[in-house]
Amino acid sequence: MKVITVIGARPQFIKSAPVSKAFLESGIEEVTVHTGQHYDDNMSAVFFNEMGLPKPAYQLNSGGLSRLEMIEKIQSELVPILEKEAPDYVLVYGDTNSTLAGARAAKTLGIDLVHVEAGLRSFNLEMPEEHNRIETDKLSAILFTPTEEAVLNLQKEGFDTKNYQVHTIGDVMYDALLTFQSRSRWHETLGPESFFDGDFGLVTVHRFENVSDPKKLSVLVEELNAIHEHEIPLWMPLHPSTAKRLKEFNIDLNIHLGPPVGYLQMLWLLQKCKIVLTDSGGLQKEAYFSEKPCVTLRDQTEWVELVDRGVNKLHHIGRSNLSLSISELLQASLDFSWKGYGEGNAAEKISATLLSH
**Which residues belong to the active site?**
206
DSSP state of 310: T
CA–CA gap between residue 59 and residue 270 (Å, rounded): 31
Angle between helices 281-289 and 10-26 (to 10 degrees): 60
CA–CA gap between residue 148 and residue 133 (Å, rounded): 17
Residue 295 to residues 136, 272, 326, 357: CA-CA distances in angstroms?
28, 17, 7, 41
Burial zone of 94 (CB within 10 Å; 0-12 exposed, 13-18 middle, 19+ buried): buried
Query: Of 196, 195, 231, which is closest to residue 328 (Cα–Cα)?
Result: 231
CA–CA gap between residue 102 and residue 78 (Å, rounded): 7
Residues facing 92 on adjacent strands: 6, 115
SS3 assignment, position 11: helix
Query: How many Å is the Cα radius of gyration of the chain?
Result: 20
Which ranges constitute the DSSP H helices of the chain?
A: 10-26, 45-51, 67-85, 97-109, 128-139, 148-156, 172-180, 208-211, 214-230, 240-248, 263-272, 281-289, 304-308, 322-331, 346-356
CB 228 within 8 A of CB 234: yes
Which amino acid, 34?
H
Query: Of 126, 114, 8, which is closest to residue 70 (Cα–Cα)?
Result: 8
Largest CA distance in the chain: 59
